[in-house]
Amino acid sequence: MSTNALEELADAEALIASRAAWRRTVEAELKGAPFDKKLITRTAEGIALQPLYTRAETEERNINLDTVVRPTARVFGGWEVAQEIAAATPEEFNRRLREDLMGGQDAAVLVAASPARPDGLALDEAWALDAAFAGVDLGAITVHLDAGADAGVLATRYFKVAAMQGRGSETLRGSLTADPLAAWAVKGALPTNLKEALDALAAWTARAASAAHELRTVGVDARMWAEAGGTAVHELAFALA
């Protein structure tokens, strides 16, 4: 047996031993209460969520983490810290975003008001997007913009705000997405017909590919299915569909 194989075997045995020791400690703390009932949670779909996952789970299933972690996580140094900011005005959004960035957040999430997301930030006025990102270097952070059913107008304004900061559109990273299917599902109608909405999304995708290749363009929002009573499996199924 090779040295590498012996080392791998020793690592595996140590992992099994440490997990068994952890299990004994936990069961002692439970004072006779059933481990499965106290520490294993079952989802609505019947999936058992274990209290502890280790490297052994990925090795047993032959999972290569390099294939499931997005490349940008390695390029930019890890997962982004990004949380949607609920704000009534662009000025309030800007204030809260800057506070969050100072507190360790390294990405911005802005949802534009739309028929599907009436709780989003109103960006009807041309100055609103500039006010939302005042004092924030758009080339230094990742920005995720949810435009609703159509991203064309918001994209033009976003590029203009970046240009005012001296940033070319090619330096922007993150996403500026449209999801006409989500808007259609929520409201039952679109400002235009579905074909025209999808054609507009295709045009924006082609535009971004040449002018802002670091921006994702196609949004997939399946929250409405969960909010209507569906499970996580239903939500994932509709998203993949």
145 CB-contact burial (10 Å; exposed 0-12 / middle 13-18 / buried 19+) = buried
Length of the chain: 241
Whether 83 and 130 map to the same domain: the answer is yes
19-28, 160-169, 203-212, 222-231: lowest mean pLDDT where? 19-28
Chain mean pLDDT for the chain: 86
Domain hosting residue 99, numbered range: 71-240
- State residue 138 phi and psi, 5-degree precision: -70, -20
Same domain, 107 and 172: yes
**Same domain membership, residue 51 and residue 84:** no
Do 133 and 21 share a structural domain? no
pLDDT in tens, 78-134: 678 888 999 999 999 999 999 999 998 889 999 999 878 889 999 999 899 999 999
Same domain? 32 vs 81? no
Is the model more confident about 122 or about 75?
Answer: 122
Return the pLDDT at 74.
46
End of a domain among 52, 68, 84?
68
133 and 221 in one domain?
Answer: yes
Residues 194 and 210 in one domain: yes
Q: What is the pLDDT, as a whole number, of residue 9? A: 46
13 SS3 class: helix
- Classify 9 as helix, strand or coil: helix
- pLDDT for 17-61, tens place per residue? 687 888 888 888 888 888 888 889 998 888 899 888 777 766 666
Residues 52 and 136 in one domain: no
Are residues 119 and 232 both part of a single domain?
yes
Q: What is the pTM of this model?
A: 0.73
The pLDDT of residue 187 is 87
| Number of domains forming the structure of the chain | 2
- Distance (Å, whole) CA 94 – CA 132: 5
Q: Would you give the distance in Å from CA 86 to the centre of its chain? A: 16
Give Cβ neighbours of residue 46 (< 8 Å, ≥ 6 apart): none
